[in-house]
Amino acid sequence: MSFISLQNITKKYGSGETEITALDGVNLTIDKGEFVVILGSSGAGKSTLLNIIGGMDSASSGKYYVNDIDVTALSDKDLTLFRRHEVGFVFQFYNLMPNLTAKENVELSTRGVKNAIDAEESLGLVGLGKRTDNFPYGLSGGEQQRVSIARAIAKRPSILLCDEPTGALDSKTGKNILILLKDLCEKDGQTVIIVTHNANIALIAERVIRLSDGKIVSDEKNPAPKEIDDIEW
């Protein structure tokens, strides 16, 4: 059985005339250690799909398994443990605690997690080794994004979910982050799933999934992923 398996996942918001179907009967399997990019325009259902995979949201119907565990059947307590130990999440809008330093934001995510990467080391991996004691208000948008990435990778999660992880980054920094994410996948066996509207990022992926109106419209293997330095920004 695949590491990640979504079976007929539907997600609806609202009811009656205001009901919106964000995901419509999604079937998807992802193997351990895959590097996957999910493409789609705004409103396609990308972030909703990522939230369900990460246990941040629940499906209206369907089943979701990780390593043969039925995530849809987990209690609130077990779902919290699943998110804490198995999932690293890079949020599009950072979601940093404003009253904590960069280092403290990373440390907050690794409490109770065995074999976590040291916060300073994790920040060093994203080029913020000299900004560990800065608060979010003293960091640029791109630097806050990198703190969010450091926080996610510090847990050594088996699943790393990235919602527009390079959206606030310049070309050089963005490519360095993509190289880091690829290394985590290839060397540590982490499953990396990136959602983006940037088709150029899809060129580096082993597999590209396209979403439209809550449905998967294509799912293709990429036999010859581009080198990260070769993509346009």
Query: Could you say which residues of the chain have pLDDT below 70?
Result: 1
| Dist. CA 35–CA 158, nearest whole Å | 12
Strands 20-30 and 35-39, how do they pair? unpaired
pTM > 0.85: yes
| Dist. CA 99–CA 101, nearest whole Å | 7
List the chain domain ranges.
32-62+82-230
CA 62 to chain centre: 21
| Dist. CA 14–CA 35, nearest whole Å | 33
The CATH number of the structural domain formed by 32-62+82-230 is 3.40.50.300
Which residues partner with 208 through β-bridges?
A: 37, 220
Q: Which two tokens stand for residue 37?
A: 């990019």
Q: 64 and 52 in contact (C-beta within 8 Å)?
A: yes
70-129 per-position pLDDT tens digit: 999 999 999 999 999 999 999 888 889 999 999 999 999 999 888 899 999 999 999 999
Strands 69-70 and 61-66, how do they pair? antiparallel
Residue among 29, 23, 19 nearest 9 (CA)? 23
Q: What is the pLDDT, as a whole number, of residue 1?
A: 62
Mean pLDDT, the chain, rounded, equals: 93
Residue among 61, 47, 110 nearest 84 (CA)? 110
